[in-house]
Amino acid sequence: MAKGSEKTPLEREPDLNDPEYFINRELSLLMFNRRVLELAQDADVPLLERLRYLCISCANLDEFFEVRVASVQQQLKLNITTRDPAGLTPIEQMEQISAQAHALVHDQYELFNKVLVPALQADEIHFLRRSQWNEEQAAWVKGYFRRELLPVLTPLGLDPAHPFPRIQNKSLNFIIKLEGRDAFGRESDMAVVQAPRALPRIIRMPEEISPSRDTFVFLSSVIHAHVDDMFPGMQVLGCYQFRVTRNSDLFVEEDVDDLLSALQGELPIRNYGDSVRLEVADVCPPEIYRLLMEKFKLEERDLYQVNGPVNLHRLMAVVGLVDRNELKFAPFTQKLPPGYNPDKSIFDYIDQNKQVLLHHPFQSFEPVIQFLKQAATHPDTVAIKMTLYRTGPDSPIVDALVAAAKAGKEVTAVIELRARFDEAANIAVATRLQDAGAYVAYGVVGYKTHAKLTLVVMRQRRRVKRYVHLGTGNYHSGTAKAYTDYGLMTGDRVLGDDVHRLFMQLTGLGKAVNLKKLLQAPFTLYDGMVARIRREADHAREGKRALIRLKMNSLVEPGIIVELYKASRAGVKIELIVRGVCCLRPGVKGVSENIHVRSVMGRFLEHTRVFYFLNGGSEELFCSSADWMPRNFFRRVEACFPIEDRQLKRRIIRETFTTYLRDNSQAWVLRPTKKYKRLKPSAKAPRRAAQEMLLEMFS
């Protein structure tokens, strides 16, 4: 080789699998929770909504420990040393998780105690601590304790005959240090009191003895104040609240004969999985919390000492209890699609419009409910097939399926019993549908059914007509008011045939068949997305304009991240809107400098998954139930459907990408440093928040 011809380090082809170019999944999830907390810290957000965001950040952190930290700790117990795509071993992950989680918890309580409590008090919403009670209030609390609490509390003395009790996951408990002998002459110096889950953690004090109509006391304060009443004749030396978080991921063998029965057997065990975190009051002395750590087999990094209630999430009840609209987001009315009349046939409406697109929560979920209700009673309906992942209690969707089955329609429901934390509700739904005469399947062994599909089969004038609904979110009327999702209703023959074939796969047996329009995980979705990314890269190399825009909840899959890096290097402009976990590192010179990543968060939970490819001017646009994670591509049944109508395509591009990429108030940009920075409008730029713009657009 001629002198000087060897490539310098900057010119060499980078190894795109280098851990330097990836962000650890667990740390990215903690960063997402940090962004939720930032919304609670935002003084421009209505006060009670700030409290709600704080509660959401605490609930998210609970689930993070129950599932993600539990997984890392299991790897530690198995002595696994394999590095993740970001180059971290399980022990390195655990160390960084602990540091960031402790900082997050510290900031949650700082915000609550030093910002939100004083602000709420200034608006006449009070949380009275024991030290603040006057004589009249203390007397009321004493009466409440004796009337409502003492009959249901069971103090457990710790001695050879009474070992340390089993502590339920995330339950409120108290450990009490005692002195003296009881009636039997026992000299135990420790006891535990468990607060039943049925007890409210926030108690409203009567208005006539309170500084305002919205005055509350914590259950923990009431128990602390009267713990002596549970140990007559003994001296209470200390009372300290604690809470343990446990591994809550259910493990059910895939080859069991009856998945429903197996899950029913596993659900009670969830509350007693391996311990992963201990929360204690910050006044708890070392000898007490070390005793608890020993009992729960936890280490110092798993201990969280807090200044306040050990479960801030329970403060969510206050948002509902306080009737102060001026301290909440302004109410809005969900809109119906143009020309839609709920009193007329929705199937005629679909036929007239060819394709009906709904953007929740800005547009109502009611047409989807009517789609099922009218199908249940329509004389032409032969069959209804539907996937159910989460439906919620008292679901009008389930009501419609039950009515259809009782009316003699062929009803098939593919219910994913393993939808995390909804297992019990889904078992109840499955049982109810079976009792009504519906055929219920639990999907495919080894794969969760996460696709959102409904198929209505009608016989019209001696021919079969299929109508379908495909969505990015669950068939849950409650979350349809709080999550952003797209739903498409159509009588398109090819899409109807594809959905029919997909249901045949879910309920029957046979080889995977090629679908004409749908991309389906685990068979064609991954390869279909990779092919389109590579096509954009080819266009860029040919000197054509190349553009990829993607919106999703999580971007984790390493192989597809590498494909995006290759496309970036080829010159493709890539704009990503990723609400939560993003393991891709943008803006790295020579690797991802053409990739821009932002997270947009606000009043509603961003949940739409939309994939756009410029394709040399012949644009392709897809909506999907799937995020870009290994499980969605390879271990779930997912559906990705094209938006082919030119007008609807323009509409989704405007509502999903144009609007969200202009957000300068509720958007966080991911920097090459792997840190997020919240955008702020400049002095000359108007404030733009995507969700607010959409509310205005649909109003």
Over 60: is that where the pLDDT of 7 sits? no
Inside any domain, residue 382: yes
My answer on whether 509 and 526 are in the same domain is: no
Per-residue b/e over 459-487, b at no fewer than 16 CB within 10 Å? eeeeeebbbbbbbbbbbbbebbeebbbbb
Q: Give the tens place of pLDDT for each residue, 221-235.
A: 999 999 999 988 888
My answer on whether 284 and 382 are in the same domain is: no
Q: Give the tens place of pLDDT for each residue, 407-417.
A: 999 999 998 87
Over 50: is that where the pLDDT of 253 sits? no
Inside any domain, residue 205: yes
Inside any domain, residue 91: no
What would the 3-class secondary structure string for 225-283 be?
A: HCHHHHCCCCEEEEEEEEEEEECCCCCCCCCCCCHHHHHHHHHHHHCCCCEEEEEEECC
Q: pLDDT band at 8, cuts 50/70/90?
A: very low
CATH code of the domain in which 395 resides: 3.30.870.10
Q: What is the mean pLDDT of the chain?
A: 92
- Least confident among 4-18, 49-63, 212-226, 227-241: 4-18
Please state, as a whole number, how many other Cβ atoms lie within 10 Å of the Cβ of residue 457: 19
Inside any domain, residue 39: no
Inside any domain, residue 450: yes
Inside any domain, residue 538: yes
My answer on whether 475 and 620 are in the same domain is: no
Whole-structure pTM value: 0.92
Between β-strands 573-578 and 547-552, what pairing exists: parallel, antiparallel or unpaired?
parallel
Which among 495, 517, 539 is the end of a domain? Answer: 517
Which among 485, 517, 549 is the end of a domain? Answer: 517
Predicted pLDDT of residue 185: 59
My answer on whether 530 and 453 are in the same domain is: no
My answer on whether 212 and 354 are in the same domain is: no
Inside any domain, residue 341: no
Q: Which domain holds residue 470?
A: 346-517
Q: Give the tens place of pLDDT for each residue, 548-564.
A: 999 999 999 999 999 99
CATH code of the domain in which 199 resides: 3.30.1840.10
Farthest-apart Cα atoms in the chain, separation: 97
My answer on whether 293 and 246 are in the same domain is: yes
My answer on whether 494 and 563 are in the same domain is: no
Helix (H) or strand (E) holding 92: helix 90-111
Q: pLDDT band at 186, cuts 50/70/90?
A: low
How many Å separate Cα 4 from the centre of its chain?
55
My answer on whether 525 and 451 are in the same domain is: no
Cis peptide before 337 (omega within 30 of 0): no
> Which residues are annotated as catalytic?
450
Give the count of domains, the chain: 3
My answer on whether 230 and 190 are in the same domain is: yes
Residue 400 CA to residue 18 CA, distance in Å, equals: 52
My answer on whether 646 and 683 are in the same domain is: yes
Which among 517, 545, 580 is the end of a domain? Answer: 517
Tokens of 119: 């602000």
My answer on whether 280 and 166 are in the same domain is: yes
Q: Give the tens place of pLDDT for each residue, 496-525.
A: 999 999 999 998 876 777 899 999 999 999
My answer on whether 553 and 510 are in the same domain is: no
Predicted pLDDT of residue 678: 97
- Least confident among 139-143, 224-228, 255-259: 255-259
